Protein backbone atom coordinates (compact mmCIF):
# COMPACT_ATOMS: atom_id res chain seq x y z
CA UNK A 1 0.00 0.00 0.00
CA UNK A 2 1.36 3.38 -1.00
CA UNK A 3 1.38 5.75 1.99
CA UNK A 4 0.17 8.71 -0.02
CA UNK A 5 3.69 10.09 -0.06
CA UNK A 6 2.96 12.94 -2.47
CA UNK A 7 -0.30 14.04 -0.82
CA UNK A 8 -0.38 17.53 0.69
CA UNK A 9 -2.11 16.25 3.83
CA UNK A 10 -2.08 19.52 5.79
CA UNK A 11 -3.43 21.43 2.81
CA UNK A 12 -6.18 18.83 2.25
CA UNK A 13 -7.34 19.54 5.82
CA UNK A 14 -7.54 23.25 5.02
CA UNK A 15 -9.55 22.62 1.84
CA UNK A 16 -11.82 20.18 3.70
CA UNK A 17 -12.76 22.92 6.21
CA UNK A 18 -13.78 25.25 3.34
CA UNK A 19 -16.60 22.84 2.43
CA UNK A 20 -18.57 23.62 5.61
CA UNK A 21 -18.17 27.35 5.16
CA UNK A 22 -18.87 27.77 1.45
CA UNK A 23 -22.35 28.38 0.09
CA UNK A 24 -23.51 25.63 -2.34
CA UNK A 25 -20.51 23.37 -1.54
CA UNK A 26 -21.69 19.77 -1.13
CA UNK A 27 -19.71 17.25 0.94
CA UNK A 28 -16.43 16.02 -0.50
CA UNK A 29 -15.30 12.38 -0.85
CA UNK A 30 -14.29 10.67 2.37
CA UNK A 31 -10.57 10.51 3.05
CA UNK A 32 -10.47 6.70 2.72
CA UNK A 33 -11.93 7.00 -0.78
CA UNK A 34 -9.29 9.60 -1.60
CA UNK A 35 -6.53 7.21 -0.46
CA UNK A 36 -8.09 4.32 -2.38
CA UNK A 37 -8.30 6.29 -5.65
CA UNK A 38 -4.81 7.72 -5.12
CA UNK A 39 -3.38 4.19 -4.82
CA UNK A 40 -5.51 2.94 -7.70
CA UNK A 41 -4.16 5.65 -10.03
CA UNK A 42 -0.56 4.82 -9.10
CA UNK A 43 -1.01 1.04 -9.26
CA UNK A 44 -2.79 1.11 -12.64
CA UNK A 45 -0.37 3.78 -13.96
CA UNK A 46 -3.34 5.92 -14.97
CA UNK A 47 -2.46 8.95 -17.08
CA UNK A 48 -5.79 10.54 -18.02
CA UNK A 49 -8.79 11.27 -15.81
CA UNK A 50 -12.12 12.96 -16.37
CA UNK A 51 -13.75 14.20 -13.16
CA UNK A 52 -17.41 15.27 -13.17
CA UNK A 53 -18.14 17.54 -10.18
CA UNK A 54 -15.09 19.41 -8.88
CA UNK A 55 -16.76 21.43 -6.09
CA UNK A 56 -13.79 22.95 -4.18
CA UNK A 57 -11.26 20.46 -5.52
CA UNK A 58 -10.74 18.10 -2.54
CA UNK A 59 -11.07 14.94 -4.68
CA UNK A 60 -9.14 16.65 -7.50
CA UNK A 61 -6.18 17.17 -5.16
CA UNK A 62 -6.11 13.45 -4.25
CA UNK A 63 -6.27 12.41 -7.90
CA UNK A 64 -4.04 15.24 -9.10
CA UNK A 65 -1.27 14.32 -6.64
CA UNK A 66 -1.23 10.75 -7.98
CA UNK A 67 -1.48 11.69 -11.64
CA UNK A 68 1.35 14.17 -11.22
CA UNK A 69 3.57 11.22 -10.27
CA UNK A 70 2.46 9.47 -13.47
CA UNK A 71 3.03 12.62 -15.58
CA UNK A 72 -0.62 12.54 -16.52
CA UNK A 73 -3.57 14.96 -16.63
CA UNK A 74 -7.05 15.45 -15.22
CA UNK A 75 -9.89 17.34 -16.82
CA UNK A 76 -12.33 18.34 -14.09
CA UNK A 77 -15.74 19.92 -14.74
CA UNK A 78 -17.75 22.11 -12.33
CA UNK A 79 -20.88 23.99 -13.35
CA UNK A 80 -21.09 26.42 -10.43
CA UNK A 81 -18.95 29.47 -11.23
CA UNK A 82 -18.21 30.49 -7.65
CA UNK A 83 -17.08 26.96 -6.71
CA UNK A 84 -15.09 26.71 -9.94
CA UNK A 85 -12.95 29.79 -9.14
CA UNK A 86 -12.40 28.71 -5.53
CA UNK A 87 -11.34 25.24 -6.75
CA UNK A 88 -8.98 26.81 -9.28
CA UNK A 89 -7.26 28.72 -6.50
CA UNK A 90 -7.04 25.54 -4.36
CA UNK A 91 -5.53 23.52 -7.22
CA UNK A 92 -2.97 26.27 -7.80
CA UNK A 93 -2.02 26.39 -4.11
CA UNK A 94 -1.60 22.59 -4.19
CA UNK A 95 0.88 23.03 -7.08
CA UNK A 96 -1.24 20.94 -9.39
CA UNK A 97 -2.19 23.47 -12.08
CA UNK A 98 0.07 21.82 -14.68
CA UNK A 99 -1.67 18.47 -14.23
CA UNK A 100 -5.25 19.70 -13.83
CA UNK A 101 -7.32 21.27 -16.61
CA UNK A 102 -10.54 22.85 -15.39
CA UNK A 103 -13.79 23.62 -17.13
CA UNK A 104 -16.68 25.67 -15.77
CA UNK A 105 -19.66 24.12 -17.57
CA UNK A 106 -22.60 21.76 -17.34
CA UNK A 107 -21.05 18.32 -17.87
CA UNK A 108 -24.25 17.07 -19.55
CA UNK A 109 -23.59 19.55 -22.35
CA UNK A 110 -19.81 19.16 -22.50
CA UNK A 111 -19.34 15.38 -22.34
CA UNK A 112 -20.90 14.57 -25.75
CA UNK A 113 -18.42 16.99 -27.38
CA UNK A 114 -15.25 15.55 -25.84
CA UNK A 115 -13.14 13.52 -28.27
CA UNK A 116 -10.35 12.17 -26.06
CA UNK A 117 -10.64 8.78 -24.31
CA UNK A 118 -9.78 8.51 -20.61
CA UNK A 119 -8.22 5.84 -18.37
CA UNK A 120 -10.53 6.85 -15.52
CA UNK A 121 -13.84 8.70 -15.28
CA UNK A 122 -14.80 9.84 -11.79
CA UNK A 123 -18.49 10.66 -11.45
CA UNK A 124 -19.34 12.81 -8.42
CA UNK A 125 -21.95 15.31 -9.66
CA UNK A 126 -25.70 15.47 -9.03
CA UNK A 127 -26.94 11.96 -8.23
CA UNK A 128 -29.96 12.26 -10.55
CA UNK A 129 -27.55 12.84 -13.47
CA UNK A 130 -25.40 9.73 -12.96
CA UNK A 131 -27.65 7.62 -15.17
CA UNK A 132 -28.11 10.37 -17.76
CA UNK A 133 -24.31 10.63 -18.16
CA UNK A 134 -23.62 6.88 -18.03
CA UNK A 135 -23.63 6.10 -21.74
CA UNK A 136 -21.47 9.06 -22.69
CA UNK A 137 -19.09 8.28 -19.81
CA UNK A 138 -18.65 4.71 -21.11
CA UNK A 139 -17.96 6.10 -24.60
CA UNK A 140 -15.28 8.37 -23.14
CA UNK A 141 -13.47 5.47 -21.47
CA UNK A 142 -10.65 3.53 -23.08
CA UNK A 143 -11.14 -0.23 -23.19
CA UNK A 144 -9.95 -1.54 -19.84
CA UNK A 145 -10.62 1.91 -18.36
CA UNK A 146 -12.40 2.49 -15.04
CA UNK A 147 -15.58 4.36 -14.20
CA UNK A 148 -15.92 5.22 -10.52
CA UNK A 149 -19.15 6.69 -9.17
CA UNK A 150 -19.23 8.14 -5.66
CA UNK A 151 -21.95 7.79 -2.99
CA UNK A 152 -23.44 4.64 -4.46
CA UNK A 153 -24.45 3.08 -1.16
CA UNK A 154 -26.41 6.21 -0.27
CA UNK A 155 -29.63 4.50 -1.34
CA UNK A 156 -29.39 2.53 1.92
CA UNK A 157 -29.11 5.52 4.24
CA UNK A 158 -30.16 8.75 2.50
CA UNK A 159 -33.57 10.04 3.65
CA UNK A 160 -34.51 11.56 0.28
CA UNK A 161 -36.53 9.27 -1.97
CA UNK A 162 -35.34 10.81 -5.23
CA UNK A 163 -31.64 10.39 -4.27
CA UNK A 164 -32.26 6.77 -3.15
CA UNK A 165 -34.03 6.05 -6.45
CA UNK A 166 -31.33 7.71 -8.61
CA UNK A 167 -28.50 5.75 -6.98
CA UNK A 168 -30.44 2.49 -6.90
CA UNK A 169 -31.26 2.83 -10.63
CA UNK A 170 -27.64 3.74 -11.45
CA UNK A 171 -26.32 0.59 -9.76
CA UNK A 172 -29.00 -1.60 -11.34
CA UNK A 173 -28.24 -0.34 -14.86
CA UNK A 174 -24.45 -0.46 -14.41
CA UNK A 175 -24.53 -4.04 -13.10
CA UNK A 176 -26.63 -5.22 -16.04
CA UNK A 177 -24.52 -3.42 -18.68
CA UNK A 178 -22.69 -6.07 -20.77
CA UNK A 179 -19.80 -3.65 -21.49
CA UNK A 180 -18.92 -3.30 -17.79
CA UNK A 181 -17.62 -5.45 -14.97
CA UNK A 182 -18.74 -3.76 -11.77
CA UNK A 183 -18.43 -3.98 -8.03
CA UNK A 184 -19.40 -1.79 -5.08
CA UNK A 185 -16.70 -1.01 -2.53
CA UNK A 186 -18.05 -0.08 0.93
CA UNK A 187 -15.72 2.83 1.63
CA UNK A 188 -17.33 6.06 2.84
CA UNK A 189 -20.82 6.26 1.30
CA UNK A 190 -19.82 3.63 -1.24
CA UNK A 191 -18.22 3.72 -4.66
CA UNK A 192 -19.26 1.71 -7.68
CA UNK A 193 -16.20 0.71 -9.67
CA UNK A 194 -16.88 -0.44 -13.25
CA UNK A 195 -14.23 -1.65 -15.69
CA UNK A 196 -14.95 -1.29 -19.41
CA UNK A 197 -14.39 -4.69 -20.94
CA UNK A 198 -11.63 -5.15 -23.51
CA UNK A 199 -13.72 -7.19 -25.96
Ligand X SMILES: C[S@@+](CC[C@H](N)C(=O)[O-])C[C@H]1O[C@@H](n2cnc3c(N)ncnc32)[C@H](O)[C@@H]1O
**Residue 157: CB minimum distance to ligand X, A:** 16
Identity of the residue, 122 or 199, whose beta carbon is nearer to ligand X in the bound complex:
122
User: Which span (40-48, 73-81, 91-99, 191-199) binds ligand X, by CB under 6 A?
Assistant: 73-81
Determine how β-strand 100-104 pairs with β-strand 48-52.
unpaired
The reply on whether position 18 binds ligand X by CB under 6 A is no
Please report, as residue ranges, which positions from 163 to 182 form the binding site for ligand X (by CB under 6 A).
Answer: none
Number of residues that bind ligand X (CB under 6 A): 19
Residue number, nearest CB to ligand X: 53
Residues 76-105 that bind ligand X (CB under 6 A): 77-80, 83
- What CA–CA distance (Å, rounded) separates 120 from 194? 10
Dump the DSSP string for 167-199.
Answer: HHHHHHHHHT-TTEEEEEE-STT-EEEEEEP--
Query: For residue 86, how many C-alpha atoms fall within 13 Å in the half-sphere facing its CB?
Result: 20
Q: CB count, 10 Å around CB of 158?
A: 16
**What's the rounded Cα separation, in Å, for the pair 139 and 114?**
10
Q: Please, which residue, 42 or 87, has the CB nearer to ligand X?
A: 87
Q: Would you say 106 or 198 has its CB closer to ligand X?
A: 106
- Which of 114, 129, 173, 179 binds ligand X (CB under 6 A)? It is 129
The CA distance from 63 to 41, in Å, is 7
Binding site for ligand X (CB under 6 A): 26, 28-29, 53, 55, 58-59, 77-80, 83, 106-108, 124-126, 129
Amino acid sequence: MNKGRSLPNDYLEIVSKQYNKTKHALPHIEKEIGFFIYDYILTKKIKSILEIGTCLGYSTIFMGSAIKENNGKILTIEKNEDLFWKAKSNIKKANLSKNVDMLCADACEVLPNLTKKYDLVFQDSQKSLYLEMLEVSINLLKKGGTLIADDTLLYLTNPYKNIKRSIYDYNRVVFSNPMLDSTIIPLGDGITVSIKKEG
